[in-house]
Structure 1
Amino acid sequence: MPAVRMRGITKRYPGVVANDAVDFTVESASIHGLLGENGAGKSTLMKVLFGLTAPSAGTVEIAGRPVVVDSARDALDLGIGMVQQHFSLIGDFTVAENLVLGSEPLQRGGLLDLDRAAADIAALSDRYGFRIDPRSRVGDLAVGARQRVEILKALYRGAEVLILDEPTAALAPTEVAELVGLLRRLRAQGRTVVFISHKLSEVIDLCDRVTVLRGGRVEGHREIGPAERDDPERHDALAAELARMMVGHELPDPPERVDGPERGGVPVLRLSAAGDGRRLGPIDLEVQAGEIVGVAGVEGNGQTELVEMVVGVRRCRAGSVHLGGTDVTRWSVRRRLNTGVAHIAEDRHGAAVADGLDLAHNATLGFQGRPPFSRRGLWLSLVQMRRLARGVVNRFGVQAVAVTDPLRSLSGGNQQKLVVGRELSRGPELFVAAQPTRGLDVAAAAFVHSELAALRRRGAGVLLVSLELTEILALADRIVVMSGGRIAGETSPSEVDVTTLGRWMTGGGAVGEPEAAAAGAAGAAT
Structure 2
Amino acid sequence: MDYVIEMLNIRKEFPGIVANDNITLQLKKGEIHALLGENGAGKSTLMNVLFGLYQPEKGEIRVKGQKVNITSPNIANELGIGMVHQHFMLVDTFTVTENIVLGSEPKKGLSIDMKKAEKEVQEISDRYGLSVDPKAKIADISVGMQQRAEILKTLYRGAEILIFDEPTAVLTPQEIKELIQIFKTLIAEGKSIILITHKLKEIIAVCDRVTVIRKGVGIDTLDVEGATPTQLASLMVGREVLFTTEKTTAVPKDVVLEISGLNVKDSRGVAAVRNLDLTVRSGEILGIAGVDGNGQSELIEAITGLRKISSGSIKLNGKKLSALKTRKITEAGVGHIPQDRHKHGLVLDFPIGDNMVLQTYYQRPYSKMSMLNNKEINKQAKKLIKEFDVRTPSEYTQARALSGGNQQKAIIGREIDRDPDLLIAAQPTRGLDVGAIEFIHQRLIDQRDKGKAVLLLSFELEEIMNVSDKIAVIYEGNIIATVDPKKTSEQELGLLMAGSKKKEAGEKKDV
What range describes the TM-score normalised by the shorter chain of this pair? over 0.9
- The match for 1:523 is none
Aligned to 2:508: none
Say yes or no: does 1:268 pair with 2:260.
no
How far has the Cα of 1:257 moved from its partner? 4.1
1:24 matched residue in structure 2: 25
* Equivalence for 1:509: 500
Partner of residue 129, structure 1: 129
Does structure 2 conserve the Cα–Cα contact (< 8 Å) formed by 1:164 and 1:195? yes
* RMSD, aligned CA: 2.0
Structure 2 Cα separation of the partners of residues 106 and 268 of structure 1? 61
Q: 1:204 to 1:512 in 2, by over 3 A?
A: farther
- How far does the alpha carbon of each residue in 1:79-132 deviate from its partner, in whole angstroms, 9 at most, with x for none? 11111112223344333232222211122x333322222222222222222223
**Distance apart, 1:371 and its partner CA:** 2.0
Aligned pair in 2 of structure 1 residues 511, 6: CA closer, same or farther (>3 Å)?
Answer: farther
Counterpart in the other structure of 2:314: 321
Q: Give the share of equivalent positions with the same residue, in percent.
A: 42
Query: Partner residue of 1:193?
Result: 193
Question: Does 1:239 pair with 2:229?
Answer: yes
With structure 1 as the length reference, what TM-score do the two structures score? 0.90
2:305 aligns with 312
> Which residue in 2 is equivalent to 1:61?
62
Q: What is the count of residue pairs matched by the alignment?
A: 498
Comparing 387-396 and 16-25, the one that deviates more: 387-396
For each residue in 1:314-357, what CA deviation from the matched residue of structure 2 results, as whole angstroms up to 9, or x when unmatched?
12231111001111211121112112211111121222222222
For 1:135-154, list aligned pairs within 5 A.
135-154=135-154
Distance 1:76 1:260, change over 3 A: same
Question: Could you tell me how far apart the structure 1 residues matched to 2:503 and 2:88 are?
Answer: 34
The one-character-per-residue Cα deviations of 1:215-271 (angstroms, maximum 9, x if unpaired) are: 11101111022xx3xxxxxx6xx2111111111111246332443445xx7521111
**1:58 shift after superposition:** 1.3
Residue 170 of structure 2 corresponds to residue 160 of structure 1: no
Displacement after TM superposition at 1:422 (Å):
1.0
Alpha-carbon shift at residue 36 of structure 1 (Å): 0.4
1:293 paired to 2:281: no
User: Aligned partners of 1:469, 1:45: CA distance in 2, in Å?
Assistant: 31
CA distance in 1, matches of 2:503, 2:32: 37
**Would you say the 8 A contact 1:10–1:57 is kept in 2?**
yes
Alpha-carbon distance, 1:199 to partner: 0.6
CA distance in 2, matches of 1:33, 1:222: 10
- State the distance in 2 between where 1:302 and 1:150 align: 26
CA distance in 2: counterparts of 1:58 and 1:512, whole angstroms: 62
Query: For residue 395 of structure 2, what is the aligned residue in structure 1?
Result: 403
- C-alpha distance in 2 between matches for 1:370 and 1:254: 39
Partners of 1:498 and 1:91 lie apart in 2 by: 35
**2:184 alignment partner AA:** R
In 2: Cα distance, 1:147 partner to 1:508 partner:
26
What is the distance in 2 between the residues matched to 1:220 and 1:285?
A: 48
Greater alpha carbon shift after TM alignment, 429-438 vs 93-102: 93-102
Q: Distance in 2 between matches of 1:270 and 1:19?
A: 49
| Shift of residue 299, structure 1, vs aligned partner | 2.7
User: Partner of 1:339: helix, strand, or coil?
Assistant: helix
Q: Give the unaligned 5+ runs of structure 2.
A: 505-511
Q: How does 1:104-115 map to 2 (within 5 A)?
A: 104-107=105-108, 109-115=109-115
Match of 1:460 in 2: 452
What amino acid is the match of 1:245? L
User: Which whole-Å CA distance do the structure 1 matches of 2:216 and 2:3 have between them?
Assistant: 23
Q: Does 1:249 align with 2:242?
A: no
The SS at the match of 2:273 is coil
Closer, same or farther: CA 154–305 of 1 in aligned 2, 3 Å = same
Residue range with higher mean Cα deviation, 330-339 or 489-498: 489-498
Using the alignment, how far apart are the partners of 1:113 and 1:497 within structure 2?
Answer: 52
AA in 2 matched with 1:316:
I
Unmatched segments (≥5 aa) in structure 1: 229-234, 514-526
- Quick check: 1:363–1:389 contact (8 Å CA) kept in 2? yes
CA deviation string 1:461-506 (max 9, x = no partner):
111111221111101122223333333443332343334434544x
Shift of 1:512: 8.1
| Match in the other structure for 1:522 | none
Deviation at 1:373, TM superposition (A): 2.0
**Paired AA for residue 234 in structure 2:** R
Cα separation, 1, equivalents of 2:500 and 2:312: 29
Question: Residue 219 of structure 1 aligns with which residue?
Answer: 219
SS at match of 2:479: strand
Within 5 Å, give how 1:484-499 maps onto structure 2: 484-499=476-491
Name 2:169's counterpart in structure 1. Answer: 169
Q: Report the Cα distance in structure 1 between the residues aligned to 2:432 and 2:291, rounded to whole angstroms.
A: 20
Equivalents in 1 of 2:174, 2:309: separation in Å? 32
Distance 2:482 2:138 in 1: 32
Partner of residue 509, structure 2: none
Equivalent residue number for residue 181 of structure 2: 181
2:112 counterpart SS class: coil
Answering whether residue 350 of structure 2 is matched by residue 349 of structure 1, we say: no
Partner of 1:39: 40
SS in 2 for 1:444: helix
Cα 1:95–1:404 shift into 2, 3 Å: closer
Structure 2 equivalent of residue 521 of structure 1: none
**Partners in 2 of 1:18 and 1:275 — Cα distance?**
48
